[in-house]
Amino acid sequence: MEKKVVFSGVQPSGGLTIGNYIGAIKNFVDLQEKYNCYYCIVDLHAITVPQIPKDLRKNTLEVLAIYLASGLDPEKCTLFIQSHVDAHVELTWVLNSISYMGQLNRMTQFKEKSKKSEENLNAALFTYPVLMAADILLYQTEFVPVGEDQKQHLELARDLAERFNNRYSETFKIPEPLIQKFGARIMSLQNPENKMSKSDENENSYILILDKPDVIRRKIKRAVTDSIGEVKYNDEQLGIKNLMNIYSVFSGDSIDVIENRYEGLGYGKFKEDVAEVVISGLAPIQKRYDDLMKNKDYLEKVYRQGAEKANYAAIKTLRKVYRKVGFIQR
Residue 285 · residue 16 · CB < 8 Å: no
Contact of residue 196 among ligand ATP, ligand LTN, none (CB under 5-8 Å per partner type):
ligand ATP
Q: Is there binding between residue 196 and ligand ATP (CB under 6 A)?
A: yes
Determine how many CB atoms are found less than 10 A away from the CB of residue 257: 13
Cβ neighbours for 307, distance < 8 A, ≥ 6 positions apart: 80, 81, 84, 85
Q: Is there binding between residue 19 and ligand ATP (CB under 6 A)?
A: yes
Binders of ligand ATP among residues 112 to 151 (CB under 6 A) are 146-147, 149-150
Cβ neighbours for 81, distance < 8 A, ≥ 6 positions apart: 40, 41, 43, 60, 64, 303, 306, 307
Q: Which of 119, 188, 104, 189 is nearest to 153 (CA)?
A: 104
Site string for ligand LTN, 98-137 (x = CB under 6 A): ----------------------------------x--xx-
Contact of residue 186 among ligand ATP, ligand LTN, none (CB under 5-8 Å per partner type):
ligand ATP
Task: Report the nearest approach of ligand LTN to the CB of residue 22 (Å).
Answer: 13
Angle at 70 between CA 155 and CA 248, to 5 degrees: 75
Of 185 and 262, the one with the shorter C-beta distance to ligand ATP is 185
Quick one: which of 18, 37, 45, 158 contacts ligand LTN (CB under 6 A)? 45
Cβ neighbours for 318, distance < 8 A, ≥ 6 positions apart: 87, 90, 91, 138
Contact of residue 61 among ligand LTN, ligand ATP, none (CB under 5-8 Å per partner type):
none
Task: Report the nearest approach of ligand LTN to the CB of residue 210 (Å).
Answer: 19
Asked if 113 is an active-site residue, the reply is yes
Site string for ligand LTN, 188-217 (x = CB under 6 A): ------------------------------
Burial of 118 (0-12, 13-18, 19+ CB in 10 A): exposed
